[in-house]
């Protein structure tokens, strides 16, 4: 891999570059089966009390970007509710919860399908019951499948993608808003696909464009209504997570099309969420932070 020939100070050589081994996983994938292993900041992230005493919800918090954000939030002093889908993710969720607890913070696990409005309400109610409040809502869970053409996309898959990626976001924001005090933060995960959509990810890319608009619009509404709640987005580029080999057939070259020539790691995305959740970003609202390995988002 090229990274072996580069200085670790060069961002292009900091992590493995493609080609990655061909691997078969069923969606949404498992961290334990990922080759090479992803870096979530387990050994590197050091907190400085940026989120001391805060209470956070992270959907899709069991693995990938969600795990990295959970680790970073906990080490910055936040309690974390980790929302995840089903039994196949139990192991990943438990590992993430252990990292949160090792940081001295409270971890709560909530399993279920966020496509269901009642479950979204349960997530919010559980955070209130367990933490006594909510300061940060991270809408990170997503579904995608790579398809060669529109005929391969079923109506059911289209609906599932929109219900998971954008409708659930509406449910959660609507349920959380009455409990969010001035200074609270909502952070939504969009994607570089909102700017440069992949020809293989039509439903997914469409939802990421919708998230971009939803986040900016909701930010205006909440601030102009005097709620004092900041809404922002993070737009990751190609990030190496279990979702990739489980949904993209040509994942051996994943990330090669970036100027850095490699996929990003979850640990490289998490600091953007910490910034947006913290007082450092008190004047940042309706914005999107791209973490794309140099891929253009203008």
pLDDT in tens, 24-70: 899 999 999 999 999 999 999 999 999 999 999 999 999 999 999 99
Q: Does 41 fall in a domain?
A: no
Q: Does 42 fall in a domain?
A: no
Q: Render pLDDT for 116-159 as a digit per residue (tens, 0 to 9).
A: 999 999 999 999 999 999 999 999 999 999 999 999 999 999 99
- Residue 68, SS3 per DSSP: helix
To 5 degrees, how large is the angle CA 58–CA 60–CA 65? 85
Instruction: Give me the helix-helix angle, 168-176 and 117-131, nearest 10°.
Output: 40
Q: Does 45 fall in a domain?
A: no
Could you tell me the CATH number of the domain that includes residue 174?
Answer: 3.40.50.720
Other residues' Cβ atoms within 10 Å of the Cβ of residue 214: 20
Catalytic residue positions? Answer: 204
Is residue 13 scored above 80 in pLDDT? yes
Q: Does 34 fall in a domain?
A: no
Asked whether the bond before 221 is cis by omega within 30 degrees of 0, the reply is no
Please tell me the distance from the alpha carbon of residue 105 to that of residue 120, in angstroms, as a whole number.
23
Q: Does 222 fall in a domain?
A: yes
pLDDT for the residue 8: 60
Quote the DSSP letter at residue 105: -
Q: Which domain holds residue 190?
A: 51-240+263-291
Is residue 2 scored above 50 in pLDDT? no
At 189, give phi and psi (nearest 5°).
Answer: -90, 110
Residue 274 confidence class, pLDDT cut points 50, 70, 90? very high
Residue 298 confidence class, pLDDT cut points 50, 70, 90? confident
Q: Does 108 fall in a domain?
A: yes
Is residue 108 scored above 80 in pLDDT? yes
Q: What percent of the chain shows pLDDT beyond 70?
A: 97
pLDDT for the residue 3: 42
Q: How many domains would you assign to the chain? A: 1
Residues β-bridged to residue 189: 234
Q: Does 138 fall in a domain?
A: yes
At 34, give phi and psi (nearest 5°).
Answer: -80, 130
Q: Mean pLDDT in the chain?
A: 96
Q: Render pLDDT for 85-107 as a digit per residue (tens, 0 to 9).
A: 999 999 999 999 999 999 999 99
Predicted TM-score of the model (pTM): 0.96
């Amino acid at each position: 891999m090229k990274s072996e020939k580069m200085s670790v100070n060069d961002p292009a050589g900091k992590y493995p570059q493609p080609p990655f081994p061909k691997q078969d996983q069923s969606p949404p994938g498992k961290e334990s089966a990922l080759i090479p292993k992803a870096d979530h900041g387990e050994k590197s992230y050091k907190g400085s009390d940026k989120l001391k005493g805060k209470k956070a919800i992270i959907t899709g918090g069991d693995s990938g970007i969600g795990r990295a954000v959970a680790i970073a939030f906990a080490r910055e002093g936040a309690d974390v509710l980790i929302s995840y889908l089903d039994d196949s993710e139990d192991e990943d969720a438990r590992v993430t919860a252990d990292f949160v607890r090792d940081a001295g913070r409270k971890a709560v696990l909530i399993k279920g399908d966020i496509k269901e409005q009642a479950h979204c309400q349960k997530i919010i109610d559980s955070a209130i019951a367990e933490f006594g409040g909510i300061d940060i809502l991270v809408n990170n869970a997503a579904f995608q499948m790579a398809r060669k053409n529109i005929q391969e996309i079923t109506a059911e898959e289209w609906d599932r993608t929109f219900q998971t990626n954008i409708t659930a976001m509406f449910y959660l924001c609507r349920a959380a808003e009455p409990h969010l005090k001035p200074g609270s933060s909502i952070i939504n995960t969009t994607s570089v696909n909102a700017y440069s959509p992949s020809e293989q990810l039509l439903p997914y890319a469409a939802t990421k464009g919708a998230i971009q608009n939803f986040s900016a619009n909701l930010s205006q509404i909440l601030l102009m209504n005097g709620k004092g709640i900041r809404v922002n987005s993070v737009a990751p580029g190609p990030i190496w997570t279990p979702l990739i080999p489980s949904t993209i057939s040509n994942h051996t070259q994943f990330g090669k099309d970036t100027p850095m020539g490699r996929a990003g790691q979850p640990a490289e995305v998490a600091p953007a969420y910490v910034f947006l959740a913290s007082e450092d970003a008190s004047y940042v609202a309706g914005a999107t932070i791209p973490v794309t390995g140099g891929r253009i988002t203008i």
